[in-house]
Amino acid sequence: MVKSKALALGWFLVLILGSLAAAPVLGQAEGDEADAAVESPPPEPLKFVSTHRLRSGGTDISYTVTAEEVYIRDGDDEPTASFFTISYAKTGVERAEDRPLTFVFNGGPGSSSIWLHFGLVGPRLIDIPSDASDPGVPPYRLKDNPWTLLRATDLVFVDPVGTGYSKALGEKENEDFWGYDEDADSVAEFIRTFITMHNRWNSPKYILGESYGGIRTGLLVPRLQQQLGVGLNGLILISPALNMGTLPFFVAGNDLPYATHLPAYAAAAHYHGKLPDEWPDLKTLLAEAERYAGGEYLAALFRGDALSAQERDQVAEQLHRFTGLSKGYILRSNLRIYATRFIKELLRDEGKSIGLLDGRYAQDELDDVDDVPDGDAFSAKTGAIYVALFQSYLRNELEVDLVRRFIGSSDQAGQTWKRPGNGTGAFAGYVDVTGDMAQGTKDNESLRIFTAAGYHDLTTSYFATEYMLRHSGIDADRITIENYLGGHMMYLHQPSLEALSNDIVAFIEGR
């Protein structure tokens, strides 16, 4: 029973990588209504255009917002899916094709793009506490975002099929697009269709993906560059999942996540004042934790049961030093600290759990003796805000009148995600896309990669991201790696938002 609950919690948290609120997927119509929907041609795509102005850094930015449906089609020119997208284009530009264009999506899989839209990238920003405190209840507020990436690039927000208002058409069902290859194929076709419709083939193009969006980005590189002839200038990865083998969920027989997540555990324990030793600052702590995790600890895990009792005790002492957990607990855990148990164990004596997506967050627990929490403290405190504000923004600022249900995040998509030759489910086996990225940099010798991670992210840990990129075969001078205070969505921490935005703008501008 305990094991099944742990797996269930793992599934819940994995499915919301880069997304924070689950909502049910609309079912298909039944009986005659379903038959009529299949036989009837889809209506003309919706399109809403509005103009706006924003002040950023002492400069006024005028821009056009286009909220529209974009149909993708099969080889017989029949529409198979409708992508509902919101794009932002700076006005007053002499040559639109010279201005960079960035396609933005979150992860999940099964997540819409609202988290990046209102957390970092877009011209409107969610007004949320920066200190990981509870944001309270409605009404919530949006504010102008002077750190919007619209400063440097036009923006296209991508909601994959089955998320947001995007949906399958004709004989297709949403589930037909839920898989590694199926999802990447459809998003690649959306990008090709969009740049054709908007005459942006010759614009500098960037892909910005968060969480599972890192895997989607890796899968898009060969599809866009090799299959569709869409050249890419850069990849921007926020808290990316790149290799399923570094995620701290289904870890049986795989010791890598224990080592690559140790520095993140140290960051969370330090934040909550649970470490037994005093450290001069977080930077010093993390440097020491990284050294131990990638050296003595990894070597000890490799030796497994061959460790002597004395060696096991020495490792447990070091893990206690970096995590604050008791030596007894660490020894009972066989020197392997499981992420979904760590977030329960760290503040157990206070009756609280911390967030897996952002270890700064904490909340009271109903069950103080279980080995895993009932939910995620970060998701519970932030998820509803995004959906509420997006709905308000769409209707009140963009004047888009849609009454059908908006899917912020679909748990059904992740549970049925298809992986060829390895069963079903989003994480049924390991997937590593760094090879696709590396090949993309060989095919395109100007392709660059920027990656950002939060020290307090216990899902896609910053140390795991660095490990994957340093072992990818990508030339080091083509990669920019930046780490920030905060969690999976480090941009909710105001200083990290400003630093990250400036770093991305510098990356796009080649500085």
Q: How many domains does the chain have?
A: 1
Residues 6+ apart with CB under 8 A from 207: 102, 103, 217, 220, 232, 234, 235, 236
- Assigned domain for 215 exists: yes
Mean pLDDT, rounded, for 377-399: 88
Query: Which CATH number fits the domain that encloses residue 438?
Result: 3.40.50.1820
Strand partners, 83: 70
pLDDT at 385 exceeding the cut of 60: yes
Q: What is the mean pLDDT of the chain?
A: 89
Q: Is residue 127 domain-resident?
A: yes
- Residues 253-294 have pLDDT tens digits of 889 999 999 999 999 999 999 999 999 999 999 999 999 999
Q: How many CB atoms lie within 10 A of CB 85?
A: 22
Any domain includes 99? yes
Q: Is residue 264 part of a domain?
A: no
Instruction: Please report the pLDDT score of residue 59 as a whole number.
Output: 85
pLDDT in tens, 309-338: 999 999 999 999 999 999 999 999 999 999
Q: Using one digit for the tens of pLDDT, what is the confidence trace for 335-366?
A: 999 999 999 999 999 999 999 999 999 999 99
Which amino acid, one-letter code, is at 483? N
**Taking a C-beta distance cutoff of 8 angstroms, is the pair 152, 100 a contact?**
yes
Task: Flag whether 229 is in a domain.
Answer: yes
Least confident of 26-30, 54-58, 77-81, 129-133: 26-30
More confident residue, 36 or 218: 218
More confidently predicted of 244 and 67 = 67
pLDDT exceeds cutoff 50 at 392: yes
Question: What percentage of the chain carries pLDDT values higher than 90?
Answer: 75
Integer CA distances (angstroms), 298 to 93, 106, 257, 301, 335, in order: 53, 32, 10, 5, 11
Q: Is pLDDT at 478 greater than 70 in this prediction?
A: yes
Over range 57-85, report the average pLDDT: 94
d(CA 286, CA 466): 13
SS3 string, 167-217, reads EECCCCCHHHHCEHHHHHHHHHHHHHHHHHHCCCCCCCEEEEEECHHHHHH
Q: Which helix (H) or strand (E) holds 322?
A: helix 309-323
By three-state DSSP, how is residue 126 classified? strand
154 contacts 99 by C-beta, under 8 angstroms: yes
Whether 119 and 213 have beta carbons less than 8 Å apart is answered as no
Token pair in block for residue 219 = 């899968």
- Least confident segment among 136-140, 196-200, 416-420: 416-420
pLDDT digits (tens, 9 = 90+) for 220-246: 999 999 999 999 999 999 999 998 888
Inside any domain, residue 280: no
CA–CA gap between residue 45 and residue 169 (Å, rounded): 12
The per-residue pLDDT for 379 is 83
Q: Which domain holds residue 187?
A: 2-29+91-158+176-245+382-508
Tokens 């099944």 correspond to what residue?
Answer: 4
- What does the CA dihedral 61, 67, 69, 70 come to, rounded to 10 degrees? 0
CB atoms within 10 A of CB 200: 21
Query: Do the beta carbons of residue 296 and residue 318 sit within 8 Å?
Result: yes
Q: What is the pLDDT of residue 132?
A: 85
DSSP codes of every residue in 350-382: GTEEE-SS-TT-EEE-S-SSSSS-SS-HHHHHH
Distance of CA 353 to CAs 153, 345, 359, 487, Å? Answer: 39, 7, 9, 15
The model's pTM is 0.90
Between CA 343 and CA 363 the distance in angstroms is 11
Residue 445 falls within a domain, yes or no?
yes
Average pLDDT of span 169-184: 95
The b/e string for 381-416 (b: 16+ C-beta within 10 A; e otherwise) is: bbbbbbbbbbeebbeeebebeeeeebbbbbbbbbeb
- The DSSP result for 257-298, as a single string, is HHHHTHHHHHHHHHHTT--SS--S-HHHHHHHHHHHIIIIIH
347 found inside a domain: no
Which of the pair, 60 or 7, is modelled with greater confidence?
60
Burial of 315 (0-12, 13-18, 19+ CB in 10 A): buried
Length of the chain in terms of residues written? 511
Confidence of residue 440 (pLDDT cuts 50, 70, 90): very high
